Amino acid sequence: MAFNLFFSSLTIFFILASSIPSPSSADVPPANPISTGTACKDTLYPAFCRSVLPTNNNSANVYDYGRISVHKSLSSAHKFISLIDNYLHHSSFLTPSAIAALQDCRFLASLNLDFLLSSFQTVNTNSSVLPSIEADDVQTMLSAILTNVQTCLDGLRDTASAWSVKNGLSMPLANDTKLYSVSLALFTKGWVPKKNKTSKPPGKTPIGFRNGRLPLKMSRQHQAIYESVSRRKVLQTSNDGVVPVSDIVVVSQDGSFNFTTITDAVNAAPRSSNGSNGYFLIYVTAGVYQEYVSIGKNQTYLMMIGDGINQTVITGNHSFDDGWTTFNSSTFSVVGKGFVAAGITFRNTAGAIKHQAVAVRNGADLSTFYQCSFEAYQDTLYAHSLRQFYRECDIYGTIDFIFGNAAAVFQNCNMYPRLPLIGQFNVITAQGRTDPNQNTGTSIQNCTIKASDELASSNTTFDTFLGRPWKQYSRTVYMQSFLDDLINPLGWHEWIGDFALNTSYYAEFNNTGPGWNTSERVTWPGYHILNATGAANFTGSVFLLADDWLPQTGVPYSGGL
């Protein structure tokens, strides 16, 4: 049976591969011809780049080379999925942890295929610099592709029993990383505007929650359902700035409404919505929900509202020590585009002793969390990939408790370092940027960093650091935030030795509090003290192009400094 499935998957691959369109030039004036060497010199892997691009075309330009590299990336992604499927179809010799790592790789590879297909459609029909929002969309997807490959590789490396799988996949993963990096570099060079990418003047605070309430536009029936189970009074108005809702379901543990579990409500959501008719709203009444919730890639523009922090609680206890991959240890995971959550506590109760144990894994583009709480110890919030915004949230943890490689902005949030194990120290962020052309990083603006109650009442002193470089081009910025006296004067901590100290980017701007003083900070080449011009690059309007998508969520934000 496994043998037949393997050849079936190969057949499907060849059918799909044959359907991939060939690169073609758009009907626009051509860019200046350049040599392969010139096109490749600004990539991370110039020798590899020259080996995959044609060298005998004297009329090719950066757009031609970019189309070719994305086309090759698409073909390679198909092959990699078939390779993983082959291992999974012959998995009788693998341990459960190795199979789990492979399943993560399969899931991530399928996302990559989607991103590459979408990216190819754009580059195949454009041969000029794109408008900021279109360029940011593709650069975000190509950045996420590299993140997904790295996540797959990390999962395999963390699985000691998967040595044979690692040997078989290490070379394809290495080549794919180089190929995807070349595609990202060429796209950045040819299609991404060189000027500041904000499309609207920053600094405004658009429509948002009014008096702590969502400005939802509901039918009378929907509003009656909502208000009958909620203490809030939902604003019913036809004025501009109201967030439309296409449908609403209610989760209540007593069985008095639509569903008793959140998972059942999520499964009832429409597939592949573009959000034009409004959000599918899941209202989760107060209660402790012991379940693992996963919102898939086709469950888009879903909004989930609870009764508030510590009222509506979603909790689990999966951890790396108990056999889960870090990627799949989350209590709550979401990859569906346009997700919005408000008024919910997400919790992983595995404890510090279980090491990596994620409360939320977020890989949803244009996702927003408002007035939510994230509670765990090591690796609490996995801001995995794509564009994310967090406002007025509480985040608790110990080691690397905000980590990942999203383009993530945190505004008006509270970060609470907790009590770690003896011999450990606290690190708030571990950002995972692996390529200088990725438009990713962690921006922390107008937030408060204070010890949690359990740490503050402890008789033991533990160092707390703002971040450390998980990957080669790690990027994190703290701006206009309150840093309490628990912050070590060095501010930042190395990962191991001098790894990434030259290539990472860590910066601070106009912070306050006992821990703000930068006079004793690390002296790494990658550490910076910003002025207002530099800090503006990490604001919502610039870093996330927030003015183009955040207003529709109803969540308040500051576009500038």
DSSP-assigned states of every residue in 36-92: HHHHHTTSS-HHHHHHHS-SS-TT--HHHHHHHHHHHHHHHHHHHHHHHHHHHHTGG
| CB neighbourhood size of 106 (10 A) | 16
Q: Which amino acid is at 316?
A: G
pLDDT at 460: 86
| Residue from 104, 154, 379, 400 carrying the catalytic annotation | 400
User: Strands, DSSP E only, in 418-469?
Assistant: 426-431, 441-445, 448-449, 464-467
pLDDT at 213: 58
pLDDT at 277: 87
Task: Specify the fold of 246-397.
Answer: Pectate Lyase C-like (2.160.20)
**Which top CATH class is 36-191?**
mainly alpha
Determine the Cα–Cα distance for residues 461 and 463; give it in Å rounded to an integer: 7
The number of residues in the chain equals: 561
Copy the structure tokens of residue 164: 């044979």
Give the HSE-up count for residue 277: Cα atoms under 13 Å, Cβ half-sphere: 11
Q: Do 431 and 499 meet the contact criterion of CB atoms below 8 Å apart?
A: no
Burial class (CB in 10 A: 0-12, 13-18, 19+), 421: middle
DSSP 553: G
Determine the Cα–Cα distance for residues 13 and 54; give it in Å rounded to an integer: 25
Sequential pLDDT tens for the chain (561 residues) = 443 433 334 343 333 444 444 444 344 445 788 999 999 999 999 999 999 999 877 789 999 999 999 999 999 999 999 999 999 998 888 888 889 999 999 999 999 999 999 999 999 999 999 999 999 999 999 999 999 999 999 998 887 555 667 678 888 999 999 999 999 999 999 999 986 554 444 444 444 444 455 677 666 766 776 666 665 544 333 345 678 889 999 999 999 999 999 999 999 999 999 988 899 999 999 999 999 999 999 999 999 999 999 999 999 999 999 999 999 999 999 999 999 999 999 999 999 999 999 999 999 999 999 999 999 999 999 999 999 999 999 999 999 999 999 999 999 999 999 999 999 999 999 999 999 999 999 999 999 999 999 999 998 889 999 999 999 999 999 999 999 999 999 999 999 999 999 999 999 999 999 999 999 999 999 999 999 999 999 999 999 999 999 999 989 999 999
Copy the structure tokens of residue 445: 């603006």
Q: Please enumerate in sequence order all residues whose Cβ is within 8 A of that of 208, keeping only pairs 6 or more positions apart, or say none.
A: 215, 554, 555, 556, 557
Which three-class secondary structure state does DSSP give residue 258? coil
**Phi, psi angle pair for 194, to nearest 5°:** -80, -20
Question: Is 104 noted as a catalytic residue in this protein?
Answer: no
Give the HSE-up count for residue 528: Cα atoms under 13 Å, Cβ half-sphere: 17
Determine the Cα–Cα distance for residues 391 and 389; give it in Å rounded to an integer: 7
Q: Please enumerate in sequence order all residues whose Cβ is within 8 A of that of 406, keeping only pairs 6 or more positions apart, or say none.
A: 362, 363, 383, 384, 385, 386, 387, 388, 440, 442
Give yes or no on whether 246-397 and 409-554 have one common fold: yes
CA distances from 133 to 187, 448, 541 (A): 14, 31, 11
Which three-class secondary structure state does DSSP give residue 16? helix
DSSP 552: G
pLDDT at 459: 83
pLDDT at 229: 64
Q: Do 401 and 381 meet the contact criterion of CB atoms below 8 Å apart?
A: yes
pLDDT at 531: 97
pLDDT at 25: 39
Q: What DSSP string runs through 156-223?
A: HHT-GGGHHHHHHHHHHHHHHHHHHHHHHHHHHHHTS-SS---SS-S----S--BTTB--EE--HHHH
Copy the structure tokens of residue 72: 């090759």
β partners of residue 507: 477, 528
pTM greater than 0.95: no
Cα 213 off chain centre by: 27
pLDDT at 209: 46
Determine the Cα–Cα distance for residues 222 and 280; give it in Å rounded to an integer: 11
pLDDT at 200: 47
- Break the chain into its structural domains and give their ranges: 36-191, 246-397, 409-554
Copy the structure tokens of residue 262: 């959140």
409-554 carries CATH number 2.160.20.10: yes
Exposure string of 4-33, with b = 16+ CB inside 10 Å and e = fewer, is: eebeebeeebeeeeeeeeebeeeeeeeeee
